Amino acid sequence: MDHVISGVAKFQRDVFPEQQDTFKKLANGQSPEVLFITCADSRIDPNLVTQTAPGELFICRNAGNIVPPHSNQTGGMTASIEFAVAALGVKHIVICGHTDCGAMKGAITPDKLDSLPHVKEWLGHCRCATEVVKEVHGEVTMDHLDDVTKENVLQQLQHIKTHPAVAAKLATGAVQLHGWVYNIEHGTIACWNPQTKAFEEMEQAYAESRLTASL
């Protein structure tokens, strides 16, 4: 914890003074362009990976980068998505999974989560992903972790379409959806290309789609 506290001191001493004008503008409001939904994994830093500044990303994080399908029961993700889309007017929604995801490992072996009942229930939102992979390969094991990770991103993209605020903006083209998988070891991003129906290295996929990789 000491290094965290010293980091705050360094921020106040060295970083904040150099960006004081930026923080002054942010003090009275925000206008992010992107809603960035990713995993709570400590190895993922959305601002670092995207090289974005404070105020540019509206970030939501949870185990497994999950978006529960819309329901009449209010939850943190539901409220955050509604606020980002309907109130802040974000133009893009990124759902970003990552390699070596513990949540996806849990989704593959739910029987090992009996001592973590809330985690087990939460990861039920990933069941479609594991079932798809099982249907394709005849089974789903840790050897299929990358496949489950990618399929989970696609399933969460389907879930977010059920949220009324998102559905409304999709109908008019005011919001675009993006599915990414971040490779921790290599620092690369694979993004879903709806034209080829495959995850591709970002440079290739976005050169083809001109930053409009929407489902």
Tell me which residue range forms the domain holding 12.
1-30
Distance CA 164, CA 78 (A): 10
H/E segment holding residue 59: strand 57-62
pLDDT score of 212 more than 60? no
144 is annotated as contributing to ligand binding? no
Total count of residues recorded for the chain = 215
Same domain, 104 and 128: yes
Same domain, 49 and 26: no
Has residue 93 been placed in a domain? yes
Reported pTM: 0.91
Q: What is the mean pLDDT of residues 147-174?
A: 98
Same domain, 6 and 110: no
Same domain, 22 and 38: no
137 is annotated as contributing to ligand binding? no
125 is annotated as contributing to ligand binding? no
Exposed, middle or buried: residue 2 (CB in 10 Å: 0-12, 13-18, 19+)? exposed
128 is annotated as contributing to ligand binding? no
pLDDT score of 188 more than 50? yes
Say what the pLDDT of residue 213 is: 45
Q: Are 142 and 105 within 8 A, CB to CB?
A: yes
- Which pLDDT band, with edges at 50, 70 and 90, does 202 fall under? confident
CATH number, domain containing residue 186:
3.40.1050.10
